[in-house]
Amino acid sequence: MERFELRSSPETVHWGFWDASLRPILTIRAGDEVTVHTVSGPPDNIPEEKNRIPPELLEIHARVVQGPGPHILTGPIAIEGAEVGDVLEVRILEISLRQDWARNHILPLKGTLPEDFPYAWRVIIDLDRERNVARWIPGIEVPLRPFFGNFGVAPPPSYGRVTSQFPLEHGGNMDNKELVAGTTAYFPIWNRGALFSVGDGHGAQGDGEVDQTAIETALTGTFRLIVRKDLRLKLPHAETPTHYITMGFDPDLDDAVKIALREMIAHLVRTRGLAHEQAYCLCSNAVDVKITQLVNGYRGAHCMLPKAIFIDE
């Protein structure tokens, strides 16, 4: 196993899109670890104090053309031996804050309540890294639980350039707050090399992400990337120390819930040998169905299966 380090720069990011035609900026072997230093923030929503801003973010603003979405993604990273139909196992080993500020904003015609907030509003949020809290509303502190909102593999080549706004079968803007350090994500691979990218750091977020933004900040993440040839998935899955997670994405929230639930039923049938009826009933008895996010064009839902119910483990 080798360890690599990758920094965000105008040469190593793609801004606002996913695209299978992007050439990898790093190639590693399956099982290697890579530490990625990401950046976050558009030019109109960063602190006035320039010394608080990572210099590479200002370089990216000046030199990189933004695509249809807002997210600055670092990558892609190719993994040797990864083929179409395999699964990329992404072990999230560590996540840490890179800076002492974050941002949140409301934009016209965006979010869950655009009719109530038909105007722009922005705020810079101070992060207390020693106490691990966000402080910006007097008398309120939000505990930090950092995760990457937008990561995964390159989409199917037939899709062409895909906005970073949507979550799809390659991953993308999933905004699943459960994917913190210590968890593992699984992505179906659509291109040789998988082409892993990551960005959209969140210091914390509520399920739903209702105004369209979380505590948006720059993060450093360390990942172990493993190629699984023994798995076949249609959509991203995830695993925490306590739960197995399936996800669904669709413009209609009801359909997103159905997709996530069908993925969980299929998981139980495949891994536990349950009949479909048994799996469906077990989901009703033990699985939590949650709204991941409501604001990315494609809504997200996820099902959480507690591992503790299986007494043979």
Which distant-in-sequence residues (6+ apart) come within 8 Å of 111 by Cβ? 117, 210, 211, 212, 295
AA identity, residue 18: W
Q: For position 171, what pLDDT does the model report?
A: 98
Instruction: Report the CATH superfamily, name and number, of domain 242-309.
Output: Acetamidase/Formamidase-like domains (3.10.28.20)
Whole-angstrom distance, CA of residue 143 vs CA of residue 62: 33
Whole-angstrom distance, CA of residue 258 vs CA of residue 182: 27
Give the pLDDT of the chain (313 residues) as one tens digit per residue: 999 999 999 999 999 999 999 999 999 999 999 999 999 999 999 999 989 999 999 999 999 999 999 999 999 999 999 999 999 999 999 999 999 999 999 999 999 999 999 999 999 999 999 999 999 899 999 999 999 999 999 999 999 999 999 999 999 999 999 999 999 999 999 999 999 999 999 999 999 999 999 999 999 999 999 999 999 999 999 999 999 999 999 999 999 999 999 999 999 999 999 999 999 999 999 999 999 999 999 999 999 999 999 997 5
DSSP conformational letter for 159:
G
Q: For position 313, what pLDDT does the model report?
A: 58
10 Å CB burial of residue 40 (0-12, 13-18, 19+) is: buried
Give the class (CATH, top level) of 3-228. mainly beta
Q: Which two tokens stand for residue 212?
A: 């369209």
Q: For position 6, what pLDDT does the model report?
A: 98
* Number of alpha carbons in the 13 Å side-chain half-sphere of residue 306: 9
Where are the chain's structural domains? 3-228, 242-309
> 41-61: string of b/e by CB count within 10 Å (b at 16+)?
bbeebbeeeeeebbebbebbb
